[in-house]
């Protein structure tokens, strides 16, 4: 991903900073949902070096790659889905970060409900995702980039099917306004979409929101 998108890590760090966690995250519990190989976890660590970070992913292979890296004591990894985290009573969390997750789940509303239950009242959510603005120009730009650069590069690396999936999944996913509406329907407040800078403007966004007033289902002990 970093070869085809050189700003990948920079964009993740920017989205993690947009959580605006006070005091470098001191005393806060943060969930990295769909952590993959740990790039999003590293971005969170840069934004909140003193937070206690729990990073989870449904892929054991991805987690093995993440665990092979060096991490401070405040970071732990779990092989769990969002729903399993909620069922295990892992919360509540002060913030949740989810990068490139919602486009790849079969039940985004179910995942949002789990996230909502895991957050403290007014807890913070940041979702970093490919989500088109809704403009035909941005849709055309995404298709042109995929046809001209992404899919051919994937063919050379043996990942053609993966990058064709990326292209199609972005076209089929919520537009930014639609995902904002989905967040609001799930009970989140202060919902907004912030475009990612550079050529991805109108193609990728950071979605920011707060949990509502209702207490989360998980226990409230830190």
- Summarize pLDDT for 47-77 with one digit per residue, the tens: 999 999 999 999 999 999 999 999 999 999 9
What pLDDT, on the 0 to 100 scale, is given for residue 170?
Answer: 96
Number of domains in the chain: 2
Structure tokens belonging to residue 30: 């943060």
What pLDDT, on the 0 to 100 scale, is given for residue 1?
Answer: 52
Structural domain includes residue 118: yes
Nearest by Cα to 9 from 36, 49, 28: 36
- Residues 51 and 161 both lie in one domain: no
- Residues 80 and 107 both lie in one domain: yes
How far apart (Å, rounded) are the C-alpha atoms in residues 121 and 207? 18
How far apart (Å, rounded) are the C-alpha atoms in residues 206 and 125? 10
Structural domain includes residue 222: no
- Residues 91 and 151 both lie in one domain: no
- Residues 167 and 179 both lie in one domain: no
- Residues 115 and 75 both lie in one domain: yes
Domain that holds residue 203: 8-131+174-211
Give me the residue label for tokens 């930014």.
Answer: 176
Structural domain includes residue 3: no
Low-confidence spans in the chain with pLDDT less than 50: 2-3, 215-222
- Residues 21 and 42 both lie in one domain: yes
> CB within 8 A of 26, min separation 6: which ones?
50, 51
- Residues 60 and 139 both lie in one domain: no
The pairing of strands 188-195 and 204-211 is antiparallel
């Amino acid at each position: 991903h970093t070869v085809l998108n050189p700003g990948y890590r920079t964009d993740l760090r920017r989205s993690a900073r947009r959580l605006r966690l006070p005091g470098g995250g001191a005393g806060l519990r943060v969930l990295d949902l769909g952590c993959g190989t740990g790039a999003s976890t590293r971005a969170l660590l840069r934004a909140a070096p003193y937070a206690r970070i729990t990073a989870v992913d449904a892929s054991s292979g991805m987690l093995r790659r993440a665990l092979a890296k060096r991490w401070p004591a405040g970071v732990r990894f779990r092989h769990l889905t969002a729903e399993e985290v909620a069922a295990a009573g892992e919360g509540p969390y002060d913030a949740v970060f989810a990068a490139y997750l919602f486009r790849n789940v079969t039940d985004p509303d179910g995942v949002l409900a789990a996230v909502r239950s895991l957050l403290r009242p007014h807890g913070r959510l940041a979702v970093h995702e490919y989500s088109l603005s809704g403009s035909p120009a941005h849709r055309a730009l995404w298709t042109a980039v995929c046809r001209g650069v992404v899919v051919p590069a994937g063919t050379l690396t043996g990942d053609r099917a993966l990058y064709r999936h990326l292209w199609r999944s972005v076209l089929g996913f919520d537009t930014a306004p639609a995902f904002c509406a989905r967040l609001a329907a799930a009970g989140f407040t202060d919902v907004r979409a912030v475009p990612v800078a550079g050529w991805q403007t109108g193609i990728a966004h950071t979605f920011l929101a707060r949990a509502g007033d209702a207490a989360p289902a998980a226990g409230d002990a830190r």
